[in-house]
Structure 1
Amino acid sequence: MAAPRTVGDRSSWNLQNRSLLAASAFRTSLGDQASKGPRLQAQFLLSSLPNKSLRLVVPIWNRSTRGIRGLGGAVAPEGNQKKRTLLQFLSDHFYDVMALREFLLRMQMLKVHQKNRAFPHIEEKHGPYIAGAFFILKQGGAVKFRDKEWVRPNERGHFSLEFLQFQAVPVEAVDASGCNINYEGLNSLLALKELRSLSLRCCPHLDDWCLSRLHSLANSLEELSLAGCPRISERGLACLHHLQNLRRLDISDLPAVSNPGLTQILVEEMLPNCEVVGTNWAEGLKLGPEEQPQDTASPVPA
């Protein structure tokens, strides 16, 4: 005859039965997750662990997966191995594509900010003309001093420093086509008070706010080119009414302008002494039903 169980034996027996039931349920759930794939099985294993254990398991799991990837890349071709290494680096340092995109955008804006910094030490030593010319040349543009030849950088971005002798010679023309000039960088450009010709073609960071600052050149500027600037709209062109000495204005290929034809008409009325080129006056104009051209040679009435 078996001895009667005590209170301690009953609690031990209940704990043992609970452990067996929990293990059986865990194996059943694990089998269901395994049928769905190893990735879901791994997620189920991690979610089943306590928080303290999870913090210990995650680094081990990550190291094991990296080791598996590295082992697979050892037998892969060299090109695939480099691709795997790059993807592994990106997966380890960037959580998603948006984080990578934001990082690249911040780096691009930082680069633009560095390119638009002023050179106060050059201005103090050589004057505003030399400082403005040096800024444009560092951007990759070209400058022309009065009665002098054009100064341009070579293919490597290097340029002669002979223009440092022209401290008393004003800059009369600037070609900044394709440069990364922004609102901040205009500080160096607007110091050229005798500037007569300015080309800002295809400047990606030039916007409407930048055009509002060109009134400082109203007394001297005669030619201005804004062709191909993607961020200039009709609102920025309206700020050019201060430039009454303009004789030629190029506003072609401005994708942000909603109605090029109407915009050209308004600019011509705003600057009556200026030749506005680059757009067709009828481009973008919408005709009413009664103004639509009709084919009079057709025998069938419209």
Structure 2
Amino acid sequence: MRTHILFRRYGSYAPSHNCYNYVHYYDYQDHGYVTRTTTYYDSMNLMYSYPYQQLQLSQGTPIHKAQNLKLGPTAPRHSKPLLELCPQHFYLSCRSFWGVTVAFNQVDEERVKLAGPDRAAAEWVLRNEGSIKWTTSPAHLNDYNMLPRSDFEEYKLEEIDLSNTKVIDLGFEHLKNLKHLRKVKLYKCVSIMDDALKNLQHVKDTLENLEIIDCPMITEAGLTHLIKLRNLKVLILSALEAVPDLNKSVNRLKSSMPWCHIVQTSDVGDLKT
């Protein structure tokens, strides 16, 4: 039989310019497990979930010590480091639950109304560790804390780079009502599927440059959604594991999209984008 004792700890954390409030939830189980989840509320009252963490302690670890485990940067300063508590008998594993991924990708309609679609989309990209480019600047931005603090309506997204991020199809709903987006880069996006490409139709009137490289869950059916991108000028495709014959798929797209220059990565050296 397991007993569960739930502890709540409140505090604050200030990375760079943003100040976060947080709540720790500790669930102590008498089989020697301590679990923690954390919810962040930033200065604009946006909610983020921190990945679930699980810790196995040595047998008989006192509950009061379980309360003081230092599992991350948000732990209070007086907390003792984990290694001081039980240096020989523990393992720490972090797991990102599906719910956390959804929270980082789901559209917040109230936020869209408050800050506008471009700002909301920029926050989505940077929250997932991608980068963006505004129409007003030649530089790319990859730091969430450097987003403008006011005059949101003056900043319009021109490019987004989701390379090496864990975005999912749901996040591409952020592309709705973007009127200036010209370029999207999808490189090593291991979690996106065909619906992500379907959602690119939200920017079919402006999107000119698209890269889809090493995205293992994109299929041939997903590539057919690209035919509706009537203003696309450059399409780069490569290393799509779920597409049985990429050469054949590229040839089909070329026949269906004569307005677009479609290449595979081996040809990119001669391409100026």
**Is TM more than 0.5 here?**
yes
Q: Please report how far the alpha carbon of residue 166 of structure 1 lies from its aligned counterpart in structure 2 after TM superposition.
A: 4.0
Q: Please report how far the alpha carbon of residue 152 of structure 1 lies from its aligned counterpart in structure 2 after TM superposition.
A: 2.1
Structure 1: distance between partners of 2:123 and 2:265 = 33
Structure 2: distance between partners of 1:279 and 1:149 = 25
CA deviation digits over 1:249-296, x for unaligned, max 9?
111111111011111111111111211122569xxxxxxxxxxxxxxx
| Cross-structure match for 1:134 | 123
Could you tell me whether the CA contact under 8 Å between 1:135 and 1:188 is conserved in 2? yes
Q: Please report how far the alpha carbon of residue 225 of structure 1 lies from its aligned counterpart in structure 2 after TM superposition.
A: 0.9
TM-score, normalisation: structure 1: 0.54
Aligned length: 187
| Cross-structure match for 1:261 | 247
| Cross-structure match for 1:246 | 232
Structure 1 residues 235 and 279, CA gap change in structure 2 (3 angstroms): farther
Could you tell me whether the CA contact under 8 Å between 2:175 and 2:202 is conserved in 1? no
SS of the residue 1:200 aligns to: strand
Residues 1-302 of structure 1 aligned to structure 2 (within 5 Å):
82=88, 86=91, 107-154=96-143, 158-162=144-148, 164-278=150-264
Which has the greater radius of gyration? 1
Structure 1: distance between partners of 2:266 and 2:260 = 16
SS of the residue 1:212 aligns to: helix
Structure 1: distance between partners of 2:146 and 2:266 = 41
Structure 1 residues 279 and 141, CA gap change in structure 2 (3 angstroms): closer
SS of the residue 1:143 aligns to: strand
> Any unmatched runs of 5+ in structure 2?
1-30, 32-57, 60-86, 268-273
CA deviation digits over 1:101-160, x for unaligned, max 9?
xx95xx432221121122334322221111111211111112222132435234xxx421
Structure 2: distance between partners of 1:192 and 1:198 = 12
Larger proportion of strand: 2
Structure 1 residues 108 and 150, CA gap change in structure 2 (3 angstroms): farther
| RMSD between aligned residues | 3.1
Q: Which amino acid aligns with 2:88?
A: K
Structure 1 residues 279 and 140, CA gap change in structure 2 (3 angstroms): closer
Could you tell me whether the CA contact under 8 Å between 2:105 and 2:167 is conserved in 1? yes
Structure 2: distance between partners of 1:131 and 1:232 = 25
Q: Please report how far the alpha carbon of residue 82 of structure 1 lies from its aligned counterpart in structure 2 after TM superposition.
A: 2.9
CA deviation digits over 1:54-76, x for unaligned, max 9?
xxxxxxxx9xxxxxx97xxxxxx
Structure 2: distance between partners of 1:109 and 1:167 = 32
Could you tell me whether the CA contact under 8 Å between 1:260 and 1:279 is conserved in 2? no
Structure 1: distance between partners of 2:251 and 2:244 = 13
| Identical aligned residues as a percent | 25
Q: Please report how far the alpha carbon of residue 207 of structure 1 lies from its aligned counterpart in structure 2 after TM superposition.
A: 0.7
Q: Which amino acid aligns with 2:245?
A: N
Of structures 1 and 2, the one with the larger relative CO (CA 8 A, separation 6+) is 2
Structure 1 residues 151 and 261, CA gap change in structure 2 (3 angstroms): closer
SS of the residue 2:97 aligns to: helix
Could you tell me whether the CA contact under 8 Å between 2:175 and 2:199 is conserved in 1? no
TM-score, normalisation: structure 2: 0.60
